[in-house]
C-alpha cells in the first residue's frame, strides 16, 4: 500500500491516525534568541568557550548540555507490541510514544531511534557510537533472545544506564503488584509458588526479579512446556533458568504445573483453560498479562483467584510499564548513575508498591499510571539505592 493509493483524509477519520499526523514530538529551545547578543551566546562565538571547557573537562558535558537529561529510545522493530517483526519504520510511532511518556511522566527528554539493522554486533556498535549524546539508553521492542545479548554487551561497554524496558519495566511492576497481592492475603513472597508462562524477554526478567525478591518457588514454561534441568533444546538463557528455578522438579505442561500453584503470570500470548486456573490453590493470584488478549478471560479467572491483573487499561490492576521506566530513569539521571543495578530495580518495585499503602484491595494492588505520586516515589528510591550501591556520580 502506497501513499498514492491511500486517502490521508480517510485515514484521518480514525482518531488514532488523526492524533499521529505529523508525529507526536517536537524539539523546543529552552532559551530565547531575541537579538544578536542572545545569538552570540547561544551560538558562535560564545558557544566556543563552552566547547573548549568541555574538551578540557569532559564531565562538564552533563552541566552545560542536555545530555544528562536525555535518553535514547532504541529499537530495531523486531518485536513491536503484539505486532511482531514489522521493521524500524513501522516501529517509529511506538518509539515516539515511548519518548512522549518519558517526558509526560518523568520529565525526561527522550529521542526515538529506530535502527535499520538486526544483527547484534551492528546494534551494539551503533548504540555505542551514539552514546556520547545521551545520559541513558532505553532498549525497546528487540526480540528475544537477541535482546539479552544486546543489553549485556551495552552494559559492559557503556558507563550510562542501559535498560531494556520490555524486560525490566515489566518485572518491576509485576513485583510491585505481587507484593501487594501477597500482603492482601497475609502472605510473604517466600510462601508462594509461582508459574510463569513465557520464557521471552519479559518472562525471563520477571522470573529473575522474583527470584531476587525471595519468591518461594517458581517454574517457567515455554511453547514446549516447563523449563527444567536436562530438558533438550534449551538456549543459554533457558539453561540458566533451568539451573535457578523449578526447585520442585516439575515437568510437563503449564496447565499441569498450575495445579496447587499460588501465582500464575502469563507473558506468552497463549491460552490457559479455565480448568487449569480452577486447579490453583485457594486465594490464588492470576496475572494474565498478554495484550490485547489475556491468557485467560479476567472474569473467568476471578471465579477462582482472589487477585486478577492484566495488561489492559479496561480492567483493574493494569500492569503498565509506564509505572516504572520514567521514574527509574529520572532517579538514575538525577544522580548520574553509571548503571541500573538489580537493587535499584528492587527498590523501584518496593516504592511503587508502597504508593498503594493501606488502600490495597482485590482491585487495587497497583496504582494508576496517572497517580502523580508514582514517578517521584520511584525516582527517589532509585536515586537513593544508586548511592547505596556506589554507582552514583553525584
Q: Which residues are catalytic?
A: 43, 98
Give the up-direction half-sphere exposure of residue 47: CA atoms within 13 A in the CB hemisphere. Answer: 7
Give long-range contacts, CB 8 A cutoff, 24+ apart: 290-294: 290/82, 290/266, 291/81, 291/82, 292/82, 293/269, 294/266
Convert 359-393 to b/e letters by CB count within 10 Å (16 or more is b).
Answer: ebebeebbbebeeeebbbbbbbbbbbbbeebebbe
Continuous H helices in 110-193: 120-130, 146-157, 165-184
Say which residue the cell 527498590 belongs to: 347
Residue 62: its H or E element: helix 61-64
From first CA to last CA, the distance across the chain in angstroms is 52
* 8 A C-beta contact, residue 296 and residue 289: no
* 8 A C-beta contact, residue 168 and residue 201: no
Amino acid at each position: 500500500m502506497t501513499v498514492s493509493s491511500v486517502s490521508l483524509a480517510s485515514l484521518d477519520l480514525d482518531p488514532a491516525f488523526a492524533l499521529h499526523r505529523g508525529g507526536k514530538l517536537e524539539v523546543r529551545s529552552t532559551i530565547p534568541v531575541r537579538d544578536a547578543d542572545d545569538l552570540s551566546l547561544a551560538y558562535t562565538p560564545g558557544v566556543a568557550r563552552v566547547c573548549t571547557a568541555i574538551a578540557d573537562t569532559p564531565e562538564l558535558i552533563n552541566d552545560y548540555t542536555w545530555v544528562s537529561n536525555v535518553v535514547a529510545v532504541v529499537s530495531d522493530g523486531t518485536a513491536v507490541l503484539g505486532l511482531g517483526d514489522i521493521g524500524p519504520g513501522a516501529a517509529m510511532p511506538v518509539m515516539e510514544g515511548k519518548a512522549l511518556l518519558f517526558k509526560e511522566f518523568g520529565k525526561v527528554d527522550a529521542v526515538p531511534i529506530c535502527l535499520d539493522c538486526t544483527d547484534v554486533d551492528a546494534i551494539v556498535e551503533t548504540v555505542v557510537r551514539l552514546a556520547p549524546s545521551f545520559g541513558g539508553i532505553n532498549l525497546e521492542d528487540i526480540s528475544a533472545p537477541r535482546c539479552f545479548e544486546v543489553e549485556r554487551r551495552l552494559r559492559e561497554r557503556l558507563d550510562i544506564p542501559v535498560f531494556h524496558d520490555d524486560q525490566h519495566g515489566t518485572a518491576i511492576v509485576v513485583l510491585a503488584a505481587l507484593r501487594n497481592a501477597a500482603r492482601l492475603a497475609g502472605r510473604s513472597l517466600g510462601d508462594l509458588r509461582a508459574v510463569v508462562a513465557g520464557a521471552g524477554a519479559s518472562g525471563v526478567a520477571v522470573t529473575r526479579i522474583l527470584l531476587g525478591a525471595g519468591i518461594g518457588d517458581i517454574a517457567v514454561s515455554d511453547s514446549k512446556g516447563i523449563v527444567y534441568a536436562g530438558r533438550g533444546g534449551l538456549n543459554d538463557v533457558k539453561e540458566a533458568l533451568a539451573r535457578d528455578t523449578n526447585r520442585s522438579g516439575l515437568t510437563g505442561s503449564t496447565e499441569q504445573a498450575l495445579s496447587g500453584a499460588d501465582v500464575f503470570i502469563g507473558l506468552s500470548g497463549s491460552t490457559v483453560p479455565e480448568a487449569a486456573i480452577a486447579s490453583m490453590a485457594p486465594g490464588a493470584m492470576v496475572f494474565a498479562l498478554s495484550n490485547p488478549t489475556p491468557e485467560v478471560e479476567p472474569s473467568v479467572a476471578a471465579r477462582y483467584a482472589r487477585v486478577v491483573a492484566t495488561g489492559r487499561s479496561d480492567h483493574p490492576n493494569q500492569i503498565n510499564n509506564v509505572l516504572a521506566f520514567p521514574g527509574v530513569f529520572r532517579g538514575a539521571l538525577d544522580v548520574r548513575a553509571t548503571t541500573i543495578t538489580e537493587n535499584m530495580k528492587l527498590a523501584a518495585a518496593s516504592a511503587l508498591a508502597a504508593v498503594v499503602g493501606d488502600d490495597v484491595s482485590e482491585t487495587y494492588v497497583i496504582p494508576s499510571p496517572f497517580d502523580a505520586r508514582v514517578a517521584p516515589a520511584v525516582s527517589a528510591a532509585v536515586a537513593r539505592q544508586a548511592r547505596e550501591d556506589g554507582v552514583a556520580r553525584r
